[in-house]
């Protein structure tokens, strides 16, 4: 019975693991931050529910549509680690904190100045690291184990730092303009 899972299969044999290849692939995707892509692929298979033509949208749906910036439809882990993808992730996280689009604009200006939204940005003189230029970089470990390479982890830590020290990104940007650091 156990031989069934370890027998050779064309193109799917993984001798280093005793698990079924499909299970291993899903586990691999979830471990490496591609859950967004996996969820997007799964939800594409579910047919939409038909609503009556006379039904009005809910108040919460209308309010959310007007106040929240749009998040990308599908953003893989690799795409999120580009400067453009990192800004998209930050836009969603800023909205989740209840901050306005103005706060997002201040955040973009602040982190453009600090790191140009590069995940691996390093300051050779101060040893600050990442998108928010954490000093020292390993402080971001508190937001996740992949702090060196994951934009979402760095952004999560940076927003927490800004909220704890300055309350809002605009106040952090103001401090940065007047002092040269934040």
Per-residue pLDDT band for 4 (boundaries 50, 70, 90) equals very low
- Rounded-to-integer distance, Cα 137 and Cα 158, Å: 11
Residues 113, 133: contact at Cβ < 8 Å?
no
Give the Cα separation of 88 and 93 in Å (integer): 9
* C-alpha–C-alpha distance, residues 95 and 89, integer Å: 10
pLDDT of 178 reads 97
117: left (phi over 0), alpha (psi -120 to 50) or beta: left
What b/e sequence results for 64-99 when a residue is b if at least 16 CB atoms lie within 10 Å of its CB, and e otherwise? Answer: eeeeeeeebeebbbebbbebebbbbbbbbbbbeeeb
The 10s digit of each residue's pLDDT in 127-175 is 999 999 999 999 999 999 999 999 999 999 999 999 999 999 999 999 9
| 33-58 pLDDT, tens digit each | 544 444 554 455 555 555 555 555 55
Q: Enter the tokens of residue 59.
A: 């108040």
pLDDT for 50: 53
Q: What percent of the chain clears pLDDT 70, i.e. is strictly above it? A: 58
Torsion of CA 55, 61, 65, 67, to 10 degrees: 140
């Amino acid at each position: 019975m156990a031989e069934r899972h370890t027998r050779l299969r064309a193109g799917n044999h993984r001798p280093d693991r005793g698990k079924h290849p499909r299970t291993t692939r899903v586990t691999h995707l979830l471990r490496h931050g591609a859950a967004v892509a996996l969820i997007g692929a799964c939800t594409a298979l579910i047919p939409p529910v038909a609503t009556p033509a006379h039904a009005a949208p809910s108040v919460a749906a209308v309010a959310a549509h007007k106040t929240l910036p749009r998040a990308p439809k599908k953003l893989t882990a690799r795409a999120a680690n580009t400067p453009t993808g990192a800004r998209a992730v930050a836009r969603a996280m800023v909205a989740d904190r209840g901050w306005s689009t103005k706060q997002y604009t201040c955040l973009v200006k602040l982190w453009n100045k600090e790191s140009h939204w590069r995940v691996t940005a390093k300051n050779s003189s101060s040893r600050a690291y990442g998108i928010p230029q954490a000093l020292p970089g390993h402080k971001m470990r508190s937001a996740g184990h992949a702090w060196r390479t994951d934009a979402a982890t760095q952004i999560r830590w940076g927003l927490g730092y800004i909220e704890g020290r300055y309350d809002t990104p605009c106040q952090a940007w103001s401090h940065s303009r007047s002092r040269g650091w934040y």
